[in-house]
Amino acid sequence: MAGAYIRGVGLSCALGENPEQCASAMQKMQVGPIDLQLDDFHEPLRMPYYRIPDDADLFEGSRFERILPPVARMAVERAGLSAAEICRLPLFIGSSCFSIGLSESHYAAALSAHPDTAMPMPLCGGYQLIAAIIQQALGIDGDVYTYNTACTASANAMLGALRMLKLGWYQHALVIGAELANRTTLAGFSGLQIVAQRLQPFDAARAGIVLGEGIGAVVLSAYVGSDSDLRIIGGASNCDTWGVTTANPDGNSVAAVLNQALADAHIRSDQVYGIKAHGTATPMGDTAEAIGIRRIFSKTPPVTVIKPYIGHTLGACSVNELVLFAGALERGFIPATPGFETPDAALDLNPATTHGAAPDGCYLLNHFGFGGNNVVLVLEKNAS
Amino acid sequence: MIGIVAANHYLQPIESDASLPSLEADLRELCREPFRRIDRFIQLALLGSARCIAGQTLRPECGIYLGSGLGPIGNNIVTQQQLIRDREIPKPFNFINTLGSSAGFYVAKNLGLSGQNLFISRRRASMEAVLNLALADLLRGVVEQALVGLVEEVALPLAVHRQRQDLPATQVLAEGSHWLLLQSGQQTARQLRLHRFDELSTLENFLFGSWMQGDCLCCASGMERSAEQRLQRQFPGCIVSAWDCAFHDSLDAAWLTEFAIGDRPGQLFVVNGNSMRGWVLFQLGA
C-alpha cells in the first residue's frame, strides 16, 4: 500500500461547523478571533482567542460531549463505512487538553462546596475522555491510541494510523484532533509570555501565538473511497533536545525531519509543490522552521500558514489544519497567510498574501511541538 | 524477529502517606547531567530508562515509546491547585510538565537520542498500545531500535489517589517505571511476538498449541473479567493476575519486564482484549 486515502472529514472550528463552511470562510479570508477576558485570577488575563462559534459558555463542561460526536460522525458517514467496519474502527486521538477543562470545573465546584476536602485533579475520564465519548456516540469498539505529544499530538496520531494501515493491521482508521478552551492552557501559555495580540507567521514583527479551539476528524483508509483524491503518502517524526519549548534555531532537526519525510514518501524535494508550515509566529519557532526549510529546498515552494484562520489549536492542529488545507486544495487554491506583511530578511521565507493555484502533486505538512517533537507529513493531491 | 536486548524497571509499593521514596540519589548516579525543574513523573522515566539501557549502545535514532495511564499526575495536581484554588497563573515549568511529552524529552536528552519520541495512553492497556506502535515501526523498518517504557506515578495522599482512580480502599498502590529495549532482526535470549485473535477460542487453541512446561499467562488489568475467568479454568495454576499485587495503571508492563529481566525458563504470555474488539497476545519467549 502506497499511502492512506482521506476518505471522510469533519471539522468544527472558529470558521464554522463543517468542512465546506470552513473552507468557504477561508477562501473569503474571514479571520476573527474574539477578545477574551478571564477574571478568574488575581491578575486578569486578556487575549485574542479563536473560539468555536457556539452559544455556550466557553468553559462549560459538556461542550466536548456536544461538539465532538457530530464532527466524528460527519467524517465516518462521509467515509461510507459499513456498520461492521465502524464497530471495529481504531481511534487515533491527538489532543493537548483531554479532560482538563472538565476536571477544572469539577474541582472548582468541589472547592466551592467543600473547600477542606475537595479533590484536585479529578480524572473525569482523563486521557480516555475523548475516545469514550466517540465510542459511545458512534458505537465504535476498536483499539484506541491516545497521543499526548503537545502540538504534534494529532500529527503523530496521523502518522501512527498511516503506518498501521500500511502494515495491513487495519483497513480504516479514525484520526481525531481535539482542543477546547480550558483555563490551564490559556493561563499556562500566558505565563510563558508567548501569547501575541495578532498572529503574524514569519513576519518581521511576529510576536507569538494566538490560541484557538477546534475539533477535526479524518477517516484514513487503505484503499480509495468513492471520490477521494487526497492521500497521505508518508511522514516522519523526530526529537530535538535543544530545548523543551522550541527546536534548535539552527534548523538542523527541522531539516532532518523534512528529509526523513521525503524519503519515507519516496519523493524528492523538487517534487514538492507547496508547504503548509507550522508557523506559530514565535520568534524562535519560525526561525527554526524557516532555516530548516531553506536547507532542504534550493527554491522554496509556496508556503502557507493556516493558524491565522483558526488560531493555534495545539495538539489538534494537525488534523484541523489538514481538513482545511485539503478543502482548499480540492477547491483549487493554496490559502493566503493573513497577518504576513513584512518579510523578515533573516528568515527569507515569505508566505503568500493572496490565494495561489493548487496543482496536483505533493505537499508537506509541518508540525513542531514542546518536548522537542517534530513531525512532517506528505500529502498527495489527485492520488487516484 | 523482534529481540529484547535489555530490560529493567523500578517497581515500588507505596504504603505510607509520610512521603514518596526519594529518587534523587539513584538519578545522580544514572543521569549524564543533573536536570532542573523536572517533576516526579520525569524522574521515574529517567530512572527506569537509565537502568534499562545500562551498558547498552543505543543508536541515536532509537525511538522512544512512553506509555502511561495517568501521566504526570502529581505535577497536574500542583498546576490545577495553583490555577483554581490559588487563582494564580501556573509556573512555566509546572505548565510545561503537564504535557506528557516532557518526560520523553528528558529521557532522549539523557540518552542522547534524536529519533521519534511518543507519549501514548490507553487506560489499563497503555502497554499494549505502546508495544503495538513500537512493533509496527520495527516491523516496517521505521526504527531499528525501540525503547519502550511504561511509567505510573502515585500522588499522596493514598486515599485520594485511590478515590481518583475508583479503586477499592484496600487496594495497595505502587509506582512503576518499566522499560524494554527492542531491536529488529536481533537474535537475543528473549524474543517478543504479537498475535491478534478475533475469537477467544482461537486464542485458547493457539495457547494450547504453544504451551510448554513452566510457561506463564498474565491477564492484563484491562481485560474482560469473564474471559480471564475462562482462561483460569483452562490453564489452572498458570495465571497471574494484575490485581493480586500492588497496583498501578500499567501493571501488565511490570510482569513483562520482570520476566524479560529474569533467567527463568519458559514463556510469558500477556493477553488483553474483549469480545468486541478482539484479543491481543504478547508472547515473550526464547
What tens digit of pLDDT does each residue of B204-253 get? 999 999 999 889 998 887 788 899 899 989 888 777 665 567 889 998 89
Asked if A143 and B119 come within 8 Å (Cβ–Cβ), the reply is: no
Is residue A151 less than 8 Å (CB to CB) from chain B? no
The predicted-structure confidence for B13-59, as pLDDT tens digits, reads as follows 999 999 999 999 999 999 999 999 999 999 999 999 999 999 999 99
> In which residue are the cell numbers 520482570 written?
B258
Is residue A182 less than 8 Å (CB to CB) from chain B? no
Give A321 to chain B, closest Cα distance, Å.
21
Strands A4-13 and A361-369: unpaired
pLDDT band at A326 (very low <50, low <70, confident <90, very high): very high
CATH of domain B2-184: 3.40.47.10
Instruction: Give A38's contacts (C-beta < 8 A, 6+ positions apart).
Output: A44, A45, A46, A183, A186, A187
Asked if A148 and B100 come within 8 Å (Cβ–Cβ), the reply is: yes
Q: Which residue of B has its CA nearest to A315?
A: B99
Long-range CB contacts (within 8 A, 24+) of A116-120 = A118/B85, A119/B160, A119/B163, A119/B164, A120/B77, A120/B80, A120/B81, A120/B84, A120/B85
Asked if A143 and B160 come within 8 Å (Cβ–Cβ), the reply is: no
Do the beta carbons of residue B280 and residue B195 sit within 8 Å? yes
The B residues from 106 to 125 touching A (CB cutoff 8 Å) are 108-109, 113-123
The predicted-structure confidence for A206-238, as pLDDT tens digits, reads as follows 999 999 999 999 999 998 765 678 999 999 999
Asked if A244 and B69 come within 8 Å (Cβ–Cβ), the reply is: no
**Spatial CA neighbour of B145 closest among B191, B186, B182:** B182
Helices (H), B141-273: 158-164, 200-210, 225-234, 251-261
Cα–Cα distance measured from residue A211 to residue A310, given in angstroms and rounded to the nearest whole number: 8
Is residue B222 less than 8 Å (CB to CB) from chain A? no
Asked if A146 and B122 come within 8 Å (Cβ–Cβ), the reply is: yes
pLDDT, average across residues A41-51: 95
pLDDT, average across residues A144-168: 97
Among candidates A119, A241, A256 on the partner chain, residue whose Cβ is nearest the Cβ of B163: A119
Give B107 to chain A, closest Cα distance, Å.
10
Would you list the domain boundaries of chain B? Answer: 2-184, 191-285
Q: Which residue of A has its CA nearest to B136?
A: A164
Give A65 to chain B, closest Cα distance, Å.
19
Cα–Cα distance measured from residue A233 to residue A165, given in angstroms and rounded to the nearest whole number: 11
Asked if B87 and A41 come within 8 Å (Cβ–Cβ), the reply is: yes
> In which residue are the cell numbers 539523557 written?
B110
Q: According to the model, what pLDDT value does residue A149 have?
A: 97
Asked if B133 and A160 come within 8 Å (Cβ–Cβ), the reply is: yes
Q: Which residue of B has its CA nearest to A109?
A: B84
Asked if B99 and A126 come within 8 Å (Cβ–Cβ), the reply is: no
**Spatial CA neighbour of A365 closest among A245, A279, A266:** A279
Cα–Cα distance measured from residue A191 to residue B100, given in angstroms and rounded to the nearest whole number: 19
**Maximum distance among all alpha carbons in chain B?**
61
Cα–Cα distance measured from residue A183 to residue A9, given in angstroms and rounded to the nearest whole number: 29
Beta-sheet strands, E only, within B52-190? 63-67, 117-121, 145-152, 173-184
The A residues from 15 to 34 touching B (CB cutoff 8 Å) are none
Strands A91-95 and A172-179: parallel
For the cut 70, the answer to whether the pLDDT of residue A88 exceeds it is yes
* Single-letter amino acid code for the residue at A332: G
Cα–Cα distance measured from residue A250 to residue A254, given in angstroms and rounded to the nearest whole number: 9
What the block records as the C-alpha cell of B43 is 524522574
Beta-sheet strands, E only, within chain B? 2-14, 63-67, 117-121, 145-152, 173-184, 191-197, 216-219, 239-241, 268-274, 278-285
> In which residue are the cell numbers 458517514 written?
A77
pLDDT, average across residues A158-172: 96
Cα–Cα distance measured from residue A64 to residue A129, given in angstroms and rounded to the nearest whole number: 9
Asked if B70 and A169 come within 8 Å (Cβ–Cβ), the reply is: no
Instruction: Give A93's contacts (C-beta < 8 A, 6+ positions apart).
Output: A130, A131, A144, A145, A146, A147, A154, A157, A175, A176, A178
What's A229's DSSP letter?
-
Q: Which residue of B has its CA nearest to A127?
A: B121
Give chain B's mean pLDDT: 93
Among candidates B81, B85, B116 on the partner chain, residue whose Cβ is nearest the Cβ of A239: B116
Contacts of A371 in chain B (CB under 8 A): 99, 101-102, 104-105, 117, 119
In chain A, what are the domains? Answer: 4-381 (3.40.47.10)
pLDDT band at A254 (very low <50, low <70, confident <90, very high): very high
For the cut 60, the answer to whether the pLDDT of residue A25 exceeds it is yes
Give A140 to chain B, closest Cα distance, Å.
9
The predicted-structure confidence for B120-158, as pLDDT tens digits, reads as follows 999 888 999 999 999 999 999 999 999 999 999 999 999
Asked whether this complex has an ipTM greater than 0.90, the answer is yes
Q: Which percentage of chain A shows pLDDT scores above 70?
A: 98
The B residues from 50 to 69 touching A (CB cutoff 8 Å) are 61, 64, 69
pLDDT band at B188 (very low <50, low <70, confident <90, very high): confident
Three-class SS of residue B193? Answer: strand
The predicted-structure confidence for B54-78, as pLDDT tens digits, reads as follows 999 999 999 999 999 999 999 999 9
Asked if A123 and B108 come within 8 Å (Cβ–Cβ), the reply is: no
Strands A272-276 and A361-369: parallel
Best of B84, B145, B152 to substitute, by most chain A Cβ atoms within 10 angstroms, is: B84
Asked if A237 and B136 come within 8 Å (Cβ–Cβ), the reply is: no
